[in-house]
Amino acid sequence: MNMNATLSIEAEPYTFELVPARCALLIIDMQRDFLEPGGFGEMLGNDVSQLRQAIEPNKKLLEAWRAAGLQVLHTREGHRPDLADLPPAKKVRGHGATTIGDTGPMGRILIRGEAGHDIIPELYPLPGEPVIDKPGKGAFFATDLHAILQNLGITQLVVTGVTTEVCVNTTVREANDRGYECLVPEDCVASYFPIFQEMGLKMIKAQGGIFGWVTGSSKIIPALA
């Protein structure tokens, strides 16, 4: 593939002109804590099965992306074992019986190094694919993501992962303000709430693409072949 030849991807609100050399796949927080029972997502009162429908589309997109030789990055939401980077307001939010840092079936909830904090096996990073550990919902807050993307010459992001209205939306907004063009394949993002899935995507593409573009993985994968 000519890495500098533009791939025109059918999207809303209009065609996304993807330049392979400058475009990275950024997979947000596909962690056991959000996608498997017994983790942070379930602790918040959510039905984690809602998110699992994004796994297979992400797997197919990731395989095609890797095969085409494009850049991949992963993020994980979580905190230091000593909780020094955990805002007290985040620790107590929701008044749950168990909160971040407490021990659950997959280890301490949302803590780096614990089983639940790691990325699900289906989408596990390969050596050489940067993994960004983030303490917040946005992937740019208190991380080295922007510096890494600049060093790689990346100006466009295909953003996937969970959840659509929380970490994906926050990250797309942060990226947009930093000058990145963001394309979101709707089948590769998921929410615990169907209405937030729908509205989270509408918010991105409304007003002429106020934060970015929305498409489906079936529009991206053939273009990479």
Active-site residue, 90 included: no
Task: Name the residue with tokens 């394309």.
Answer: 183
Beta carbon of residue 114, minimum distance to ligand TIU (angstroms, whole number): 16
On whether the CB atoms of residues 35 and 90 are closer than 8 A, the answer is no
Beta-bridge mates of residue 158:
25, 183
Q: If binding is defined by CB under 6 A, does position 167 make contact with ligand TIU?
A: yes
CA distance 92 to 100: 8
- Name the token pair of 58: 């992400």
Structure tokens at 167: 């970490």
Catalytic residue among 23, 29, 33, 182: 29
Please identify which residue in 77, 118, 174, 186 interacts with ligand TIU, judged by CB under 6 A: 77
Per-residue contact string for residues 25-54; x = within reach of ligand TIU by CB under 6 A: ----x----x---------x----------
- 82 classed as catalytic: no
Cα separation, 32 vs 213, whole angstroms: 28
Nearest residue to 182 (alpha-carbon basis) of 210, 152, 151, 206: 210
> Any contact of residue 166 with ligand TIU (CB under 6 A)?
yes
Which is catalytic among the residues 33, 118, 167, 188? 167
**Six-digit token string for 189:** 């993002």
Nearer to ligand TIU, 20 or 135 (CB): 135
Instruction: Say whether 205 is catalytic.
Output: no
Q: Work out whether 162 is an interface residue with ligand TIU (CB under 6 A).
A: yes
> Catalytic one among 33, 118, 133, 134?
134
Which residues in the 111-150 window bind ligand TIU by CB under 6 A? 137
List Cα–Cα distances, 225 to 18, 59, 63, in angstroms: 14, 16, 11
Sign of torsion, CA 34 38 40 42?
positive
Please choose, out of 87-95, 125-133, 163-171, 213-221, the segment that lies near ligand TIU by the rule CB under 6 A.
163-171
Q: What is the contact surface with ligand TIU in residues (CB under 6 A)?
A: 29, 34, 44, 77, 137, 162-163, 166-167, 192
Residues serving a catalytic function are 29, 134, 167
